[in-house]
A and B are shown apart, each in its own frame.
Chain A
């Protein structure tokens, strides 16, 4: 079986009803990646990479997921003490297997549940 890769990218500005702490924002983005990983995994792994970059001003954090249930986060030193009003979220999903519209529907469905 020859599988082809599909890349889906989105950039959105989140507009939460109230300011979010770094921990709350981290939780929202991590849950997004975990949901995508659940929907895209084969044999218990993501046959690709789901990653995100979140920032508002100086603080930033990068998120990476290659297995359902596990998200790795790398953040700037000033991330944990920061508060976020309108953070920007960049998302890249590159996976082998599913068709592009399948991945787009999953990504857009998950993003629609975020406060925008």
Chain B
């Protein structure tokens, strides 16, 4: 599951990760795209990029649309039996409630790995404006990616990494830019975590 605040770079990340898994690793990948808005945008983008995408929009799968999530996961398991199911949560979601739904009702799931992308470029501002949501997302991650480091100061990156360690000591934090792809060390660490 890929979580993180609105506009943190989740879709960009998924595009690169799914591309790598399909092309380099020859894995079957299906993506569930959840958007809070009534119009799907990321699902259309990823579908046009050639990926298998199931969209759930008009609400959040962590609260209003848990039934739709269960239905989608189970239909995908039955029809496609993918090696990877990548779920992009909305930027307002709290991962723990989605994890609960998946663990209770999801079929065919061997392992769930939760990745949170934190927006380093807006870290200082968002930590002041809405710390509760930002910190809750990080607290529930197996791995945190400090994204958009190309837009951030060194002090913002250090502040994010320190806070993430404080909130969630078990999660590794990896800095990345993401705009030009996922750097090889990040990808390697990500797959190590996911297969652990």
Co-complex (A, B): yes
Flag the segment in B105-113, B121-129, B181-189 that touches A: B121-129
Does B88 count as interface, using CB distance less than 8 angstroms? no
Q: Could you count the A-B residue pairs with CB atoms below 8 Å apart for me: how many are there?
A: 87
* A91 at interface, CB cutoff 8 A: yes
Interface pick from A21-29, A46-54, A108-116: A46-54
A48 and B129 in contact, given A53-B44, A67-B121, A90-B39 (Cβ under 8 angstroms): no
Q: Indicate whether A49 sits within 8 Å of B39 (C-beta atoms), given known contacts A3-B130, A66-B122, A90-B44.
A: no
Whether the Cβ atoms of B37 and A60 lie closer than 8 Å is no
The smallest beta-carbon distance between B104 and chain A, in angstroms, is 26
- B123 nearest CB neighbor, chain A only: A45
Q: A3-B129, A96-B130 are contacts. A49–B6 as well, Cβ < 8 Å?
A: yes
Tell which of A8, A94, A97 touches B91, judged by Cβ atoms closer than 8 Å. Answer: A94
Q: Are A43 and B125 also in contact (CB < 8 A) when A5-B36, A11-B39, A49-B6 are?
A: yes
* B7: Cβ under 8 A from any A Cβ: yes
